[in-house]
Structures are given as structure tokens and as C-alpha cells.
Amino acid sequence: MALLLHIETSTAVCSVALGKDGELLALKETKDGMKHATHLTVFIQDILKENNFTPNDLDGVAISMGPGSYTGLRIGVSTAKGICYGANLPLLAINTLQAMTQPLLGDKKILAQLSKPEEAYYCPMIDARRMEVYTALYNNKNEITRAISADIIDEKSFSEELSKREIVFFGDGSSKCKDVIKSKNGIFLAEVTPSAIGMIEMAETKFQNKEFEDVAYFEPFYLKDFVATTPKKNIFN
């Protein structure tokens, strides 16, 4: 049984939640774009103060580990490490794609769309570049069935899996795939984004199992190397 702070900054969503014994206690989040450096520490301070806690009252800090935005992940992890160092707390790492999937598994509206819910796969997609997404496949128990990868989506993507079962596609990368993946077994959900809410149950389980990260050496799961780009107006400067 634990009081855990959960931090999600892997995409344009900045989300902070307090979880008590695996249940949501409080949430602060915004979809205001990549402004995590501005919002994150304020959200953490406010959510603790409004619920009459300090960092020393926490039992641990859970961080969404990626894949996702290089900058977003770096901000989230560095903030989580700072809290862990300052309050001598354990660090828990939660896979971003799996955390996106968790809240959908018992959703009655989604289950009603599936002919065989127990056989369906869930496919979270985080937008990368152009037609590329960070993705994986999970079953109805949130167990991984296809490894996490950076995929360029075309009309053949997931064709083998779709020939055998329904797949629920969601996340900010799924919208650009909807017109490409044409199978009748493809179900696309709108407006599903990463949230710290999806981390709570998994973080509690990891805490009870003492699956802690090394605070000094932990790195986010970037999946791909960071590529810096130069604005066109600066190319010839």
C-alpha cells in the first residue's frame, strides 16, 4: 500500500497524478503542447499542497519511461530523479504504451465494439514523424504480444494480425493511419492520449514487488536517437 506520485511527459500532454493504494487520488494535466518545463513542477507543487502532502510523505515516484518525445521524457525523468534524490524515494518506471492501454481494457464502450473482446489486441500509437509511429501490441490482459518498435505505416501494416482478430488503434499517431489501414477488423479510437492515470495500477504493483530503478543511472526509453533539426531560416546563417 503506497502513496505514489506519477509523472507523464512523453508527448504533448503534461500529466501528474497522486495514487493511493493503486487508486486515483488527484490529477492535474494539460494538453497545451510541449510546455512541460513550465507546467510540470507547478503541477507537482500544487497537487501535493492541495492534498496536504509534501514530498517526504510520498512512498515513491513513478515516471512514464517512453517511448515518446526526447525532450518531454528528459524533462519528466530529470524532475522525478530530483524528487527521489531530495526525499530519498524509490523510482518506478512505467512503459508509456502499456500505460496508455491500461485504462481501455475495461471500458464498456470499447468492449461493445468488439465481437470477441477476449481475443482483441490493443495498439497504442505515439506520433513520431511523417507516417512513423512508436507502437506495440497488447492483449486484453495488457501483456505485450508484439515488441515495441518505430514503424512506418503503410497499407500492409498489421495485416497478418488483422486477418486473425480485431485490433483497437489509439493514440495521437493512430489518426494518420486510419485512412491507410483499411481492414474491417481495425477499430480506431479518437482523442486517447497518455495520462498519468494509466500508470497508477501498474506503479502500485511494481512498488509492492520492489521493482525499483537505479536513480543515478536510469535513462528513458527513447527508442530512437535524438535528431536535432535546423530551422530553414538558419541554414545559411
Q: H or E segment at 36?
A: helix 36-50
Shared domain for 110 and 56, answered yes or no, is no
CATH of the domain at 134: 3.30.420
Q: Which amino acid is at 209?
A: N
Last residue of a domain, one of 188, 208, 225: 188
* Alpha carbon separation from 2 to 22, 40, 96, 206 (Å, rounded): 8, 22, 21, 11
Asked if residues 14 and 36 have their Cβ atoms less than 8 Å apart, the reply is yes
- Residue 179's φ and ψ, nearest 5 degrees, are -85, -5
pLDDT tops 90 at residue 34: no
Shared domain for 229 and 205, answered yes or no, is yes
Shared domain for 84 and 10, answered yes or no, is yes
Q: Running DSSP on this structure, what letter comes out for residue 229?
A: -
Last residue of a domain, one of 188, 206, 222: 188
> What does the pLDDT average to over 65-71?
95
The range of the structural domain enclosing residue 136 comes to 98-188
And the C-alpha cell for 3? 502513496
pLDDT tops 80 at residue 233: no
Residue 225: the pLDDT is 57
Residue 224: the pLDDT is 72
Q: Considering only 17-26, 67-76, 226-235, which range has the smallest mean pLDDT?
A: 226-235
Look up cell 512523453; give the residue. 10
pLDDT tens column, 177-211: 898 999 999 999 998 999 999 999 999 999 999 99
* Alpha carbon separation from 96 to 49, 121, 169, 172 (Å, rounded): 27, 17, 15, 13
